[in-house]
A and B are shown apart, each in its own frame.
Chain A
Amino acid sequence: MSIHLILFLAFGAVCVAGAVNLLAQSHPINSALSLIAVMAALAGEYLLLGAEFLAAVQVIVYAGAIMVLFVFTIMLLNAGEEERTKGSRVAVLFGIPGILLGSVLVGWVILRHSGTEAVAAGALPGDPRTIGQLLFHEFLLPFEITSVLILIAIMGAVVLASKPPTSPAGGEVRQVD
């Protein structure tokens, strides 16, 4: 058993445990923390695959920026324990067997057809230099379009999350029945 496989299994165990814990917890903040654990462990998996820069970006952008946004929203809205309703029971009855069946099917296909060829550690250089050259030469147009997408997302977030317009009388236009 190589050190590579041992590291893969260790990070993979953290990933699996975090993903299952995300489903098991009923409080959103616990789910968010387990998702952060999953993302940190995935960064380790990326390192094993030789994607060094990607591992750093995974920690900074995903586990850092995006999850901080989630935790902020949870705190801002004071999200409490999740209430179970009748609708979720139907989803459990039909969703879990369906997903289990689907994942067994996918796993069978993967094991049958992907072969057992090993992925070597660091086989592919994923350092910032190579990534940057590829990103700013071959993928320049998608990169620029992405910046427009981000700009639109920023404006959308500002518009959606801003305070609702107030009526001329001064009171908020807001009806809660």
Chain B
Amino acid sequence: MVPLSYYLMLGGFLFACGVVGFLIKRNIITIFMSIELMLNGVNLSFVAFAAHWHALAGQIFVFFVMVVAAAEAAVGLAIIIAVYRTRETLNVDQVNLLKL
């Protein structure tokens, strides 16, 4: 038997790691992976709450989060490729102008 708070703490830790990575990382791909980490932390909380409240809808929500994550990854990585094509860098500090 595992208390609900343990699952929430783990989910919160994963989310916090994602936020830290989002802030301190300078590689645009790693920043993107930090976002995925945040989504995973939230998913764990969803599943834990679904089991706790006996509401299966929480698990359905995780599916929708996964779908949004997949769509976001596809479009985001395409944007990264487009940015790399024009800037030839993956460092976000060097992508600071809208104009070339």
Contact = CB atoms under 8 A, between A and B. Distances in A.
Interface of A: 2, 4-5, 8, 12, 15-16, 19-20, 22-23, 28, 31-32, 35, 38-39, 42, 45-46, 48-51, 53-54, 57-58, 61-62, 65-66, 69-70, 73-74, 76-77, 79, 82-85, 87-88, 91-92, 95-96, 99, 102-103, 106-107, 110-111, 114-121, 123-126, 130-131, 134-135, 138-139, 142, 146, 149-150, 152-154, 156-161, 164, 174-177
B98 interface: no
Interface of B is mostly: helix
Nearest to A117: B4
Interface residues of B, number: 72
Given A35-B33, A131-B60, 7 more contacts: A8-B7, A51-B51, A69-B77, A70-B77, A114-B3, A126-B56, A176-B87
Interface of A is mostly: helix
Interface string B70-83: 11111101111110
Contact of A51 (B4, B32, B47, B57): B47
B75 A160 contact: yes
Contacts of B59: 51, 53-54, 124, 126, 131
A73 B29 contact: yes
